[in-house]
Structure 1
């Protein structure tokens, strides 16, 4: 393969990153995609060796040395390239020898999307497991003193009724004890919701996902009858699968309800849209296990998007983008879907937030 000035210009049109090295292994050319991937202009990296760009650039330099020694024509290898002060790059690296003594090596770097996806899912599962342990421990730690606080407030209220006090004063003090009792009950309800997924038995049966979607749709329409259009884009070929129908209804409802609340301004304007889309996807890896088929369900809204500062934490318990929100809806949804060996992913930008649910199919 020989690189000419005209073909170099064509390399700038490629989506993959291309580096051309001279006979000493220094960067002679970098296309536009390489500048974006490396977050550096060509002027900044020109005449540098790859070992200068990466903390662990030696494996890549070894491939370059082998190419310079004509040990292969081209070679492919997955690599993790560490950079100082920046996130590591997961890349699919292809090293090719060229028929040009001045620039004998071409390197193509492609972001390894599959590896990034696996890493993200692994972090999500680890995070979810940590959340479960935290929630269980925290909830049990809260329950005992909470019962004592409520009981003490009830006893105090009984004592107040027996004291020689003006009626107005007694009424005011009893209002204070009622505040304590009601707040204790509110916290008890919150604790019960935190523990609900771990207490309720997993009731497995045949699930038709479109019956689940239609149930969720009817509940959302009942709550938001005006200004919100719910679009259905179903794949009728999706088979039934074994699962807990009520858990899946609750998971989808939590997501759809959050989306509907985020659409408040568009609902007022009358142009809010919520799309429920189902598809089948093939050859999916979930929790390090490969599945031939999986349900690919999307809940998409045209709202303002999720705030950037919480986008990476939306499945954490008690994290909410809405004032007054409990921050439990998405946490519980993720827990219910994971109990079906699935996962929920989210992509969000202004005008389009897409929650994607993946669940293995038989």
Structure 2
């Protein structure tokens, strides 16, 4: 079935795609290492490359949605989810909510630490996609955040399959007094993770994408066996846990007007006063037939995290503008704004390499070199 046939009269559209496949992801995870710069598939220069490749495609999909199912809700999983969702909400008429498995992953694991049911805890989430903090963890109206922090320091972990399980610094975590998401390691442990990534590449183990390619090779071979009747253990080596549960729950909440609380990517609309009204944030929202409504309003970010959030949001806004317009100057400024890029000179070198590597996917930039 082609895309237009699939979209006709749809009520919900779910997007989860990777332009260039795992081969492109592998390039995203390698090209910046020679500059001593960290960049995962959704953060840093690697995430920027993925965003530039993905945005033109999501805009084409939204054109089809506007024509064939204009009342449909787009539930976007495609990474970087916050940037892609912001693109859709700023540059199309499509109704869109961005979804990530990090919040549900954190909730499930914190519930395990507390030995309680996930439905019995509430985490006051605030931030951006892959830059999300749990300001407070509540269990039966009791603040148990300090207990979770101490559990981290005693060896408990919220990390994911695609992120190195590095131990948090105790003094830092107690001073922060919030629960960081696994992706914060890229910002708070940058030098250590650069060394880790270089070591993996130099040792021949390869980047995460290259490891996943091998896992998928084994999986597809097993799936070709018609007698297979158990879940292959290799699936445990892949990320993406809880994605299906989060998606089905969100769609059900919209369709059935459930007025449930979900953590999603949606338009700010005054929720966080330090960020632009039209920027996309990741927060607890009430979900009903109208979509997502953030639970808080005119909230001020804690000073401990506001600077990093504002800097990353500046990068995201510039990244969207660069991709939509094919603007090489905006692309440069996006990399300069990214906290994982140390200097203007490095940003220029990264951008030159990125555009050359991705020239088949980014024709809008090819005639605009300096």
Does the TM-score normalized on the shorter chain lie above 0.5? no
Query: Using CA pairs below 8 Å that are at least 6 residues apart, which structure has the higher relative contact order?
Result: 2
Q: TM-score, normalised by structure 2?
A: 0.22
Q: TM-score, normalised by structure 1?
A: 0.22
Structure number with bigger Rg:
1
Higher strand fraction (1 or 2): 1
Higher helix fraction (1 or 2): 2
